[in-house]
Structure 1
Amino acid sequence: MKIARIHGAANVQLDELPTPAIGPNDLLVKVRACGICGSDLGYIAMGGLGGEGPMPIGHEFAGDIIAVGSNISEFSVGDAVAGNPDQRGIGNGGPEGAMATIIHIPDANPNMALHKIPPHISYEEAALAEPLSVALHGMNLVHVTDKDQVVVLGAGPIGLCAVAMLAHRGVQSIVVVDRVASRLQRALALGAHAIVNTAESDLSDSLAQHHGAGERYGKKFVGTDVFIDAAGAGALLNQIIDIAKFGTRISIIALYKNAVPINLYQVMANELKISGSIADQRADEFQQALDMMAAKPINRDAMISHRFSIEDLHPALSMAADADQSAKVMILLPA
């Protein structure tokens, strides 16, 4: 089997390893699609997470079961499945990674490590269930309803997933904020109602135009109910806190690499509700993401910008790192 593993800072290699043997509670999955996540790029840059030996990567995956342990009755050879990486830290510091031709799933549990793919969903769509469930978890933590006016900060892959899930939930006003025009066009294709390019427009004035505005104690605010932070930009977060209305909910699903000072007076004075979201223990939301795609397909062309073979691992990673050109970059493998 071939598997992408980190051997040091900025050093990822496609290694050849023996196909793992399975125990009575294990499965083998032939990977058919694996998305590249921003965290993969971060792990590569810093040389992994400090464990022993090379670190496997890849946690957004779908494929076919090719071997089943003797104690497992819930799955059969040939089942098409999507993988939830939470249980064993798949591709996130655990011993397994899905940017590979085959992945070993020890102690497999239905609806925990693996979910059966509903009919008519492609492998690449099923691999999107992982980032879609990240966005859904962040939405659920701040109790987004269809009546809320919502702003998504950042139109990278996770921000685009947030747009798709908000649109599926029927949210009636979704505004997306970014500085890259091509990303904003993808957001519109996935269901955003309006976009704000902060390279061209003032954020506060634009949000006031879309969501209304008001004044409290002599300070102006915008009428947005919920902000989904998929940008990870400290200055932008502080700008949002400064213009948020009383009771605004903020969900942070972005990865902040450095500490960010924030204006806690504004948080206190306006009773802002700020929630971090690591999207762990989300089996129900993972299944909901699959069910959503089964009920109403997402716009794959808007979500997935590039497709590569695993042999083209390094060009694929380079493209995923190019924010101006790429959205979700997917590695596809033959049957």
Structure 2
Amino acid sequence: MEGDSLYFTGPETINLRERSVEYSAEEVLIETRVTAISPGTELLIYHGDAPSDLPADETLDALDGDLSYPLRYGYAAVGDVIDTGSAVDEAWLGRTVFAFNPHETVFSAAPSALVPVPDGTDLEEMVMYPTVETATTLVLDGAPRIGERIVVLGAGVIGLCTIGLLASFPLSELVVVDPLAGRRERARQLGADTAVAPKEFAETRWNDAAGPEGADLIYELSGSPSALDDALAVAGYDSRIIVGSWYGTKSLTPDLGGDFHRDRVSIESSQVSTIAPELRGRWSFDRRTETTLENLRSLPIDSLVTHRIPFEDAPSAYRLLDEQSENALQILLTYP
């Protein structure tokens, strides 16, 4: 079957290309209804800041090859199963499903790679599944404790979902730092005790290690390498810094010459493709999926979607994300 796929073909260059889609006896054919742009990762690729020799994602069958141009990318698609292979249960026919798949009008996948959309779940909520799964993983990796002081650097869509989950914990204080006023207001609505601009944050007691104790847990979700120094500046003794940002090829030179060494601060990466080793005895991907779906229902996902743009106008969606970050938070691509 013929379909159209979105390709990153060079820095700040997007093309829609016709592509033939085949499916085996063990696969189903899916017609796309909506996809979600991942602002952080996809803008890195859009700007040419992703390492071109890095595999696209070895855990997702739909993403093959590396991150060099031309590149099909994206990992949040919801669509309807319009045909099934001969070895697939016909009960899949007509189901609406989520898939970790690039932006394209039609695609194939094995049923094991799909998540059926639960009854009562809106398509626009379900397409945000990867974002909420990432936020769920960030919370699992950070392991917030009762009474802790937590700082979240960056209130993009992943940061906001993480803030919404953290707000349900009995914390001492939840502080959010972001340069955009609109995102700070959204953070407050989702449960942040305080939301400030970076300059204001630097001038408060938080820049002096929050008094004698400092912050217990800091999430760096801004995508800016310099924010890691901000995290280190407020880290208390034996505190944890969870880095959810992917910096790509951006230069990273954190200042580890100050209190970092003596204060036994730990810096840990969080990445949704795997589950932390210490959790694997109790947490499977299926368990995390169930938890993510519960979190998807509890968060006000619809409030995070700022734009819906037809797939055929996809190049304008990336320009909007790049040039108007104050107004564009989560953009969805819609399909006829």
Deviations 1:174-216 (A, max 9, x none): 22101110111121222322211224x243625489xx9433x
Task: For 1:101, give the aligned amino acid.
Answer: T
Other-structure match for 2:57: none
Quick one: distance in 1 between partners of 2:149 and 2:44? 32
Q: How does 1:1-335 map to 2 (within 5 A)?
A: 1-18=3-20, 20-37=21-38, 38-46=40-48, 49=52, 51=66, 54-73=70-89, 76-83=92-99, 85=100, 90=101, 97=102, 99-105=103-109, 107-109=110-112, 113-145=113-145, 147-168=147-168, 173-199=173-199, 201-203=200-202, 205=204, 207=206, 213-215=210-212, 221-222=213-214, 224-256=215-247, 257-263=250-256, 266-281=259-274, 283=285, 284-294=287-297, 296-301=298-303, 303-321=304-322, 322-334=324-336
Task: For 1:124, give the aligned amino acid.
Answer: E
| Alpha carbons 1:28, 1:102 under 8 Å: kept | yes
Quick one: distance in 1 between partners of 2:308 and 2:170? 30
Q: Aligned pair in 2 of structure 1 residues 204, 247: CA closer, same or farther (>3 Å)?
A: farther
Deviations 1:280-327 (A, max 9, x none): 136343442222223x252412x1111111011111111122322211
Quick one: distance in 1 between partners of 2:10 and 2:329? 26
RMSD of Structure 2 on Structure 1 (CA)? 2.7
| Alpha carbons 1:24, 1:70 under 8 Å: kept | yes
Q: CA deviation at 1:161?
A: 2.0
Q: Please give the secondary structure, in 2, of the residue aligned with 1:255.
A: coil
Deviations 1:144-166 (A, max 9, x none): 24543321101112211211222
- Count of residue correspondences: 306
Identical pairs, percent: 23
Q: Aligned pair in 2 of structure 1 residues 315, 173: CA closer, same or farther (>3 Å)?
A: same
Q: Please give the secondary structure, in 2, of the residue aligned with 1:246.
A: strand
TM-score (norm 1): 0.82
Q: Aligned pair in 2 of structure 1 residues 2, 177: CA closer, same or farther (>3 Å)?
A: same
Q: Please give the secondary structure, in 1, of the residue aligned with 2:158.
A: helix
Q: Aligned pair in 2 of structure 1 residues 25, 147: CA closer, same or farther (>3 Å)?
A: farther
| Alpha carbons 1:139, 1:228 under 8 Å: kept | no
Quick one: distance in 2 between partners of 1:7 and 1:239? 35
Where does the alignment leave 5 or more consecutive residues of structure 1 unmatched?
91-96, 216-220
Q: Aligned pair in 2 of structure 1 residues 75, 323: CA closer, same or farther (>3 Å)?
A: farther
Q: Please give the secondary structure, in 1, of the residue aligned with 2:261.
A: helix
Q: Please give the secondary structure, in 1, of the residue aligned with 2:236.
A: coil
TM-score (norm 2): 0.81
| Alpha carbons 1:251, 1:274 under 8 Å: kept | yes
Quick one: distance in 2 between partners of 1:304 and 1:132? 13
Q: CA deviation at 1:40?
A: 1.5
